[in-house]
């Protein structure tokens, strides 16, 4: 451990900060996540510098010494300042003492000592400090033995967890997020305090909650965090739709699978294949409408008819409440949810060219993501079945590739345009155009004609004749 810290402290930037701090006569420390991450060998470019005294003055002096005075950004209201040096984001803040009111997670802040500042930190592993002044350069100050918790892989609050979490309930989500990201466990008292204080989540904004949830979703094994949220009772408050998926119903001895654990398995399997946050959200939401569409049908068993369509319709409401983006990212998730059964349906029946073309047409450029999601969606315990499905998916992928190269369906452009149809038959915009264009598209997807202008033009003439339209004589007009 000593060696790693030593190495980091040899960097010029820390020497400059130390010099500036000594000139101002202010104790200064590297603190928090950066210290934690050095020891964990997780390279980080966010550095927090805490000083007993004025943080803004220290930042300005450091900026001066580095010759980048203009680039110091000052947040006067918060008493903090930031500067960017090479690839590093360095934040300066004065040591503070915080006190909380019942109805807000924003504290009343006063100047404080080093000890006050370390006490206000969320977890022992986030409260370690390294001093940067003269004689004391490199001193490791760790009043809550965070180094031991780091070694053992434990998340624990420095003070009484009931107070820590009630003061700022976002810390409950942070505890679960760090446990998930770092593969740590949460100490028993800390964990039970999360369960006791869960209703305090009501004072946290959805934006902040989602920032943490998204970090959980992006972890190597996201299920860990979601299970911790479920066990502590945070899940029904943050994400009731997901909570509803938990549990099995049984009628006449027939039970369906637990869709909550199935979803988590899909999410974990997907996490091995893709870092795309929105594809991971698609995994979380792919079966979200199963509780709403669940029915027991005599002679068939449990059914979830239309859960992909109903699920896609639920996405905007969930995204809106969770303050997730309502743009093309949401549309992507909707599309994934809606189409998630198509590839598997394809392999269960016969993989015909026209079915592959239709899938390619509907999925467009998102076809690879859809295939990745569907492969992750195979969670059977029967290894033989899993093997067979994955093999079939390989066949579908191969077919997709062949047909994509041959027929240019992926970003389908109608070979005959609406304008050309209107001109040819001398008609104004109207439903006939749609009928003809659809007939051409269907014929191409079904493989009746190739995707080119000549064949499409001929089909247009035939289809138009069926509905009583004939080309106008251009010479005459
Ligand atoms: P990451 O950057 O991965 O989110 P981090 O620990 O650096 O992890 P930041 O949000 O950057 O987290 O915060 C930096 C430090 O500030 C933390 O290590 C912790 O000491 C302190 N901190 C941040 N948020 C809180 C909070 N809500 N309550 C108490 N201390 C906090
Ligand atoms: Mg950080």
Q: What length is written for the chain?
A: 477
- pLDDT tens digit sequence for 195-213: 999 999 999 999 999 999 9
Pocket lining: 32 vs ligand 1, CB cutoff 6 Å: yes
Decide: 456 and 364 in contact? Cβ < 8 Å. Answer: no
Asked which of 194-203, 263-272, 432-441 is least confident by mean pLDDT, the reply is 432-441
CA–centroid distance, 382 to ligand 2, in Å, is 43
User: Where in the chain is CATH 3.30.460.10?
Assistant: 2-149
Looking at the CA of residue 168, tell me the nearest atom of ligand 1.
27
The pTM of this model reads 0.92
CA–centroid distance, 21 to ligand 1, in Å, is 23
Residue of minimum CA distance from atom 8 in ligand 1: 33
CA–centroid distance, 33 to ligand 2, in Å, is 5
Pocket lining: 212 vs ligand 1, CB cutoff 6 Å: no
Report how far residue 127's alpha carbon sits from residue 156's, in angstroms, rounded to the nearest whole number.
11
Helix residue spans in 153-205 (DSSP H): 161-167, 170-182, 188-196
Report how far residue 324's alpha carbon sits from residue 239's, in angstroms, rounded to the nearest whole number.
13
Please report the pLDDT score of residue 1 as a whole number: 57
User: Where in the chain is CATH 1.10.110.30?
Assistant: 153-238
Report how far residue 347's alpha carbon sits from residue 335's, in angstroms, rounded to the nearest whole number.
20
CA–centroid distance, 39 to ligand 2, in Å, is 14
Please report the pLDDT score of residue 408 as a whole number: 77
- Element containing residue 81 per DSSP (H, E): strand 80-85
Asked which of 168-182, 301-315, 343-357, 392-406 is least confident by mean pLDDT, the reply is 343-357
Pocket lining: 168 vs ligand 1, CB cutoff 6 Å: yes
Query: Is the predicted pLDDT of residue 50 greater than 80, yes or no?
Result: yes
Query: In this structure, what are the phi and psi dihedrals at residue 96, rounded to the nearest 5 degrees?
Result: -140, 160
Query: Is the predicted pLDDT of residue 476 greater than 90, yes or no?
Result: no
Architecture of the domain whose range is 153-238: Orthogonal Bundle (1.10)
* Residue (of 245, 225, 249) closest to 236 by Cα position: 245
Pocket lining: 170 vs ligand 1, CB cutoff 6 Å: yes
Report how far residue 121's alpha carbon sits from residue 174's, in angstroms, rounded to the nearest whole number.
12
Please report the pLDDT score of residue 311 as a whole number: 98
Tokens read off for 110: 């006063």
C-alpha to C-alpha distances, 193 to 66, 163, 188, 232, nearest whole angstrom: 45, 9, 8, 9
- The fold of the 2-149 domain, in CATH, is Beta Polymerase; domain 2 (3.30.460)
Mean pLDDT of 5-15: 92
Query: Is the predicted pLDDT of residue 347 greater than 80, yes or no?
Result: no
Query: Is the predicted pLDDT of residue 414 greater than 80, yes or no?
Result: yes
Which of 95-109, 115-129, 341-355 ranks highest by mean pLDDT?
Answer: 115-129
């Amino acid at each position: 451990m000593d060696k790693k810290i030593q190495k980091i402290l040899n960097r010029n930037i820390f020497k400059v900060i130390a010099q500036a701090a000594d000139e101002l006569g202010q104790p200064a420390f590297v603190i928090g996540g950066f210290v934690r991450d050095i020891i964990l060998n997780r390279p980080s470019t966010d550095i927090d510098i805490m000083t007993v005294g004025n943080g803004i003055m220290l930042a300005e002096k450091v900026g001066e010494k580095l010759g980048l005075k203009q680039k110091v950004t000052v947040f006067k209201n918060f008493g903090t300042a930031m500067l960017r040096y090479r690839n590093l984001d360095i934040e300066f803040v004065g040591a503070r003492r915080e006190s909380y009111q019942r109805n807000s997670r924003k504290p009343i802040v006063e100047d404080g000592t080093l000890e006050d500042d370390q006490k206000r930190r969320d977890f022992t592993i986030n409260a370690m400090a390294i001093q940067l002044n003269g004689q004391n350069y490199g001193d490791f100050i760790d009043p809550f033995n965070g180094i031991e918790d780091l070694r053992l892989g434990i998340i624990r609050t420095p003070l009484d967890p009931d107070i820590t979490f009630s003061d700022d309930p976002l810390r409950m989500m942070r505890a679960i997020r760090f446990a998930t990201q770092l593969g740590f466990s949460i100490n028993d008292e800390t964990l039970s305090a999360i369960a006791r204080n869960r209703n305090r989540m009501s004072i946290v904004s959805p934006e902040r909650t989602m920032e943490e949830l998204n970090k959980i979703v992006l972890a190597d094994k996201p299920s860990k965090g979601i299970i911790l949220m479920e066990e502590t009772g945070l899940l029904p408050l943050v994400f009731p739709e997901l909570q509803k998926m938990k549990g099995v119903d049984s009628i006449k001895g027939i039970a369906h699978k637990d869709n909550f654990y199935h979803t988590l398995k899909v999410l974990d399997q997907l996490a091995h294949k893709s870092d795309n946050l929105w594809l991971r959200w698609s995994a979380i939401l792919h079966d979200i409408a199963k509780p709403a569409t669940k029915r027991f049908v005599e002679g068939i068993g449990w059914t979830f008819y239309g859960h992909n369509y109903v699920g896609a319709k639920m996405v905007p409401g969930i995204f809106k409440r969770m303050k997730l983006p309502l743009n093309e990212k949401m549309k992507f998730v909707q599309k994934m949810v809606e189409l998630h059964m198509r590839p598997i349906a394809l392999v269960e029946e016969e993989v015909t060219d026209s079915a592959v073309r239709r899938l390619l047409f509907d999925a467009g450029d998102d076809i690879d993501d859809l295939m990745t999601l569907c492969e992750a969606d195979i969670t059977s315990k029967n290894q033989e079945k899993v093997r067979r499905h994955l093999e079939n998916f390989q066949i579908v992928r191969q077919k997709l590739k062949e047909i994509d190269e041959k027929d240019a369906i992926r970003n389908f452009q109608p070979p005959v345009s609406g304008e050309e149809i209107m001109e040819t038959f001398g008609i104004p915009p109207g439903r006939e155009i749609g009928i003809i264009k659809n007939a051409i598209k269907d014929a191409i997807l079904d493989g009746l004609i190739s995707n080119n202008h000549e064949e499409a033009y001929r089909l247009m003439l035939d289809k138009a004749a069926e509905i009583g339209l004939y080309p106008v004589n251009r010479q005459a007009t």
